[in-house]
Amino acid sequence: MKIVVLDGYTENPGDISWGPLEALGDVTVYDRTSYVESPLIAERIGDADVAVINKTPISRETIDKCLNLKTIAVLATGYNVVDYEYAKAKGIPVQNVPVYGTDNVSQYAVSLLMEICSHIGAHSDSVHAGEWASNADWCYWHYPMIEVSGKTAGIIGLGRIGTNTAKILRAMNVRVIAYDSFQSETGKAVAEYVELDELLAESDFIFLHCPLFPSTEGIINKDTIAKMKDGVIIINNSRGPLVVEQDLYEALESGKVAAAAVDVVSTEPIKADNVLLKAKNCIITPHISWATKDARERIMNTTAENIKSVIDGTPVNVVNK
């Protein structure tokens, strides 16, 4: 079994082992290949049986050139970088890692909210800069401090991650409401389902935990923002295109949205001219909600299990059945 990893660095910058994959065959790892369509992708796959990717795209042109492919294994949950329908037509399963970082992403989402509400990093920086030592008062603060207890959080997308975020928020005495096209008993146990307009109108904090579908792309836009409370806080560590960034920028500048924190943007890596880089009260982090060592080890192990299932003739976690 010949396995080629096309963009392995973000999964494993050197702190975990490729051993689970190496146990299955001959493994070649490239730290980076390309995040846009390139002839180099097919060249590097060559006659490999397995292409392992994270964000390197696999197009129909690449599939047509790589005649020995038996599976495409994605080191992530999202698989939109693969032409999975064409792969299906060619009899090539596309496998993902459906569950690996629920706790991490929820933890990070609430951490983003807490950074907005408490400004811990900024105040620590000010102390290290000497401001407390030279201050006339025994304490000071540069930003309004926001108490989350008693507030209402609206979660758009109450799947595994949204449900977990709801549990954390409820433990902080936050009322949780949710909008999701699919309602579950698990969701009802942690949140009150409402229509989207009600969620927009009632929420002090809005969390995006929904997948990126045509129906959710741009769900945060000038029209939905207009329905929100003045001074709302928006958290997005799901998918960048859920937000119309120009509209969020304008809402931040006007104060309609008091603050936002995003771990994802429309194009990644972020472009130097992304409008959110100049927005007021906007925290931006580089898509790292998922990236604890524990989570990456789970990704590695599940990917190995996915590939082994193909070897055994019973593929699992196939997204293009």
Catalytic residue annotation: 239, 268, 287
Paired with 58 in beta bridges are: 82
Measured between alpha carbons, how far is 166 from 179 in angstroms, rounded to an integer? 12
Burial class (CB in 10 A: 0-12, 13-18, 19+), 253: middle
Q: Is 119 left (phi over 0), alpha (psi -120 to 50) or beta?
A: left
